[in-house]
Every structure is written in structure tokens, then in C-alpha cells.
Amino acid sequence: MTPAGYREARAASPPLPEPRGALSGAVGDALSGGPDRLPGPADADRADPYRGDLQLALHMLYELHYQGFAEVAEGAEWDPEVIRARNALEEPFLAALRAGVPGGGLDEAMEGVLREPPPGEDPGVSAYLAREGELWQVREYAALRSVYHLKEADPHAWAIPRLHGRAKAAMVAVEFDEFGAGRAEDVHARLFADLMDGLGLDHAYGRYVDAAPAEALATVNLMSLLGLHRSLRGALAGHFAAVETASSPGSRLLAAAMRRVGAGASAERFYDEHVEADAVHEQVVRHDVVGPLAEADPRLAADAAFGVEATELLEDRLGAVLLRAWREGRSALRRPLAAADGGGPALGR
């Protein structure tokens, strides 16, 4: 049941984020009615596809399909110039992803998701937080993950009208769980907002975009990129399979981290819920969504493998940034939470 006076995370659209360079500056200015022209292919080709400027520009263009921005007209979503700019920025990002993945088969890609790091290799962010993470690091992790989790499962819903038969039925069943099985208070995005409340964070949608590093934006942009293109529906299914496969063991570690640092019942509940639900979802997505897609059109198996590998590539890049900063005792965010939260204390620092 929703408490009296509860503020929904998406009750209002956020302001446009602060630009990180020429591309994001031009996008923000053009969307808000300024004189800047939107970026074109030449502008995109000159940019590093993994840096914050291009990733933030893409984030802003993708967000028009979700919550929008307070100072941007709703009609901008399908403005032809906006779509042309989005396509231009997507090209180098997609090309970098294709060049950066191994290009193996689907079974091999899925085995990579489940692979345990060998002795001496970095155990990953979830394991680090479970074993030695501090409360301030858990708060940073929640803040940057909020860019996705406050719209959890929304990007994957783009796949539904592009599937049919068994794959569609299975996808809808998984999404039904993600969206609370008919109960607003159990929607996973709402559970994450509750987690943020327990950690003393602001759960307003888009609150921490300015604090999130480029690597965090890229993990979310990948979902929208795959979801908004029918031609990439196989890759979106592969992405979903990778996320659901990694979620249950990762959530078990993160639930342990929440308990160890005393994050509170709401934080524990979010990850406990994912331990149980995603153990089932993994099997459904792999065998009832990805499997039928590949059987119906074998070409989509390669696309699904790409979706898995691209997911792992970007998660590894993000993990490296977080662990490097935390092991050096510094914030992994572009601005520490003390500043991002309007001057409130950065707990644990």
C-alpha cells in the first residue's frame, strides 16, 4: 500500500542534465528551444563513443521516449531532426560495441556470463561490496544504478510487439513480474525507490544523472539502443538473458552487502526479491524467449550473442571504473553524494 504523501519517482519529469561537451550541449540547447543545431554524423564521428559527451547526448535523446524533461516539449520525441541526431550518435556507439566484443556463439556467450573469475582476477563489483564495501560505496552504487532501476524493465518492453508466439508469451510473463504482478507497491522500480529512501538518497527520477560516470550511462543507453530498433530485437533478447542470468547470483551478493553495512530492510528486500524472481526469469528468458527466436530465425542467434557480449563489455568497463576509484578511497561519481544531494552528509565518508 502506498503511504499517504508518498512521492512517486516519476511524478514529474526531471530537468535537462548539465552538458559534458559540445554534443550534449547542442542537444540540450536544441531540445529546450535554443539556437544550437542538433549534432549530425560528422559531429558524432569526431567524438569518442564511450566518453561522457556522446553518452549523455544519447541519454537525453533516449529519455524523450520515457519520462522526457521538464523544459522540453513532448512533441520532440518524434521530431525528424531529433531522430536523425539520435541515429547519427548511435552509429559510432554501435560500431564500437561490435568491434569490442569477441563475436562468439550464443552458448559460448551465455557461458561467459556464468563464468566465475579465476583466482587472482577481479571478483567484480557485487562481490567487492559484499566482502568489503562500505556504506558510502553502497550509496554511490545505488545512486548510479538508479539511472536504470527507476525505469527497470521499461527498455525491454519494447521487444514485446516485435515477438510472437512462445517468445512473446514468455517475455510478457517475465515483464509482468518486473512490473509488480498487478501491485503498484511491488513494481521493481518502486522497490528500488524504496531502497534509495532507506539509504538516504533522493529517489526522484533522473536525480543522479549528472553524478553518473559515462560508463554507467552507457549500460543504460545500450538497452534503449537495442529496444528502439526492431532490427536489434535479437540483441535485446540477448541483453535481457544476460541481465537475468547474472541478476540472481549478483543480487545474492548485493543483499549480503546491504545486510553487512546496515542499509535497512528496503534495501535488503530489493535484492532478495531479485534473487528469487530472477533465478526463474533466467530460465524463462533463455529457453522460452531467446530459444524460440533463434529457432524461428537462426540469424537472430548471432544477434542475441552480440547482445550478451555487449552487455558484459559495458558492465566490465563500469566495474573497472568503480573498483579503481573505491580501492583508491575516492568517489566513483562525477560529483560526490555530499554535493549531489544538495550538501547533505556523504554517509560513511
- CB count within 10 Å of CB 143 equals 24
pLDDT band at 118 (very low <50, low <70, confident <90, very high): low
Last residue of a domain, which of 51, 83, 98? Answer: 98
Same domain, 193 and 245: yes
pLDDT value of residue 349: 38
- 325 three-class SS: helix
Select, from the ranges 59-73, 105-119, 240-254, 270-284, the one with the highest average predicted confidence (pLDDT). Answer: 59-73
Q: Are residues 133 and 178 in the same domain?
A: yes
Same domain, 247 and 298: yes
Domain boundary among the residues 62, 79, 98 is at 98
Q: Are residues 87 and 148 in the same domain?
A: no
Domain boundary among 98, 124, 155: 98
In a domain, 57, yes or no: yes
Share of the chain above pLDDT 70, in %: 92
Residue 30 lies in a domain: yes
Cβ contact 71:32 at 8 Å:
yes
How confident is the model at residue 2, as a pLDDT? 64
Same domain? For 199 and 319 the reply is yes
Q: How confident is the model at residue 121 (pLDDT cuts 50, 70, 90)?
A: low
The arithmetic mean of pLDDT across residues 224-239, rounded, is 96
Query: Does residue 247 carry a pLDDT above 90?
Result: no
d(CA 63, CA 23): 16
For residues 183, 152, 304 and 212, what is the CA-based torsion angle, rounded to 10 degrees?
-170
Range of the domain at 30: 22-98
Same domain, 313 and 273: yes
Whether residue 61 is found in the same domain as residue 175? no
The answer to which of 42-56, 128-142, 143-157, 163-177 has the lowest mean pLDDT is 163-177
Q: Say if residues 23 and 54 touch (Cβ distance below 8 Å).
A: yes
158 near 197, Cβ under 8 Å?
Answer: no
The SS3 assignment for 152 reads coil
pLDDT of residue 278 exceeding 70, the answer is no
Task: Report the pLDDT averaged over residues 109-124.
Answer: 72
pTM of the entire predicted model: 0.93
Tell me how far apart the alpha carbons of residues 343 and 349 are, in angstroms, rounded to a whole number: 13
Q: Are 41 and 128 part of one and the same domain?
A: no
DSSP 3-state assignment of 156? helix
pLDDT (average), residues 3-22: 90
Q: Within 10 A of 26 (CB to CB), how many other CB atoms are there?
A: 22
Q: From its phi and psi, is residue 205 left (phi > 0), alpha (psi between -120 and 50) or beta?
A: beta
Mean per-residue pLDDT, 98-104: 94
pLDDT attached to residue 47:
97
CA dist., res. 126 & res. 139, Å (int): 13
In a domain, 345, yes or no: no
When the pLDDT of each residue in the chain is averaged and rounded to a whole number, the result is: 91
